[in-house]
Structure 1
């Protein structure tokens, strides 16, 4: 299965709901007009290619509009709005890193190469209805909400706030985000649409936080136990099924409890570092805290596992869940555990624990594959 082909096309001209997203390179016109065209266009092309690679999948590419990348996602393929926030944050992080590396690596003295640092990135995200159409040029979407999201690119956010890199989430999109994810309010007025309210997510502080965040990672070499599951879907799609407590219920062990994990979000109202998770489903009752969070790549938890029956003492451990992309577009999902207590007795208990874990891994692999296939099939809708 090739990357970007995990979800076949929907029926043409079928109305659906979902996210409409435009990523727009800020400063593009000034950059293009004031520099050597050939070099400037080459730079912009490299940047837009990166944006497309980072957004698709789980978003679906519609078209390139000059310096802007237009995408959408059916609501049934992007289960929760927070995954969209993380996707756009990671895209900006990698965009900024590419800009930095391009500036540092260039030896060209032309105006275009000297002005790379003047470029930035902004996003507009809306949730609404649209019709997908397939024409000679590929897939396109149409409808009033599609017109609105394009109108929103012409806004007064930078003028009124001084923020250059941002995501403008419309009110309809904010309703799909975590309720405690609070952002500064903003509104714009457009002919035929009137006032459109939403909120602005400043990406500048996000970039600094991601660059400064300490890495906590259990490698394959440093793990006391490792289990892997391979599925033919890319990491940004599989990520939702690993971190969303409701989606995890569809494939992880539910032998002792069929309710979702209890999750406490961090001080910013987000999933991520500082968040806490209580799991009561498997052979151990586990209390965990998120200590590293790299969306679509890996996350690490530190916590205490109390095994049922009392025959194994409570163990403190660090766990890393890693989603590694495969060459065929699929994902290798790895779960690695390292005990914090390195005593001989602690290591002896590992043998008993691994026997409990192995049965759950085989169960989970089949169930995860089935859940992914079920959702992809549901997103297709009727075929006649």
Structure 2
């Protein structure tokens, strides 16, 4: 008979550690009152930003929905070290939200409410144990509970950093926070089921001045590209469904020939500036595409795919012909010298049109399958009509 110790091992010796929790505020309302798929993708991106900004050797214990439980064994951080880490995380978090707001095309509840999300931090120091259950590890101990309880407190600021007195006392070189902080430092305490915890806190709002404005980006090809090919097909599906499939960059290879894959996406929700690689050969010759200039006006939707490296531009136009009927059209332009364009016309154009005609058929078959099953495509981008903007 297998003993419990063979399937569960725990590091019994407590080790002192920094417990650090960035927590996204407004998460519960955001998820429950908006489109769940887009809300999930947005939160995932923001959590990834926080993890990628870790510069003081923090380890991730677990992702807790709207928060990350970080820890670091060893000496307590200095005030300067911890404040610098918090500033970098906060600025990158807010910069991502600003860029999302300026580049997004979706008007669903989740995407349009992203700017309402905020961030707070709790930092504590104390002995913890690392429990290992098969391949899973989990922090354990009273001080882990203390840190989580402190997420509920009497701090008035919606965005703040909170440091327990245990953390302050643990660092021998901890300087007085008011001498290095960007805001006034407030003292507080909380009564919890385990007792009283004293802490100090400061607002993060002054850090807004360090958040960079998103760059204005021009995705157009320089010069005047020449049109080299156009193709169209009629899709037996509503225009919004056709657009959802067309604009889902991760799904392109499922209907468009000769693609065998789509990767290197910079976002899970399509927006102005979304990138993906059209995998054809699986090497560096495969084009990296930027999608941009999404517009809806009346019964017409247009957007553009640009490959700066390859010098190609494809303009997609969808026109609603009826409640369940859509004309899809693509015009492809290319930048290049006369000889290059001549070679394309002589040896490649016919094949390109044949592949695109087959792609429209694949797209039609997929949309009809969705309709027969009473399903929507997963991306579900909600575009705002320019006529009512």
TM-score, with length taken from structure 1: 0.48
TM-score, with length taken from structure 2: 0.48
Rg (Cα) greater in structure: 2
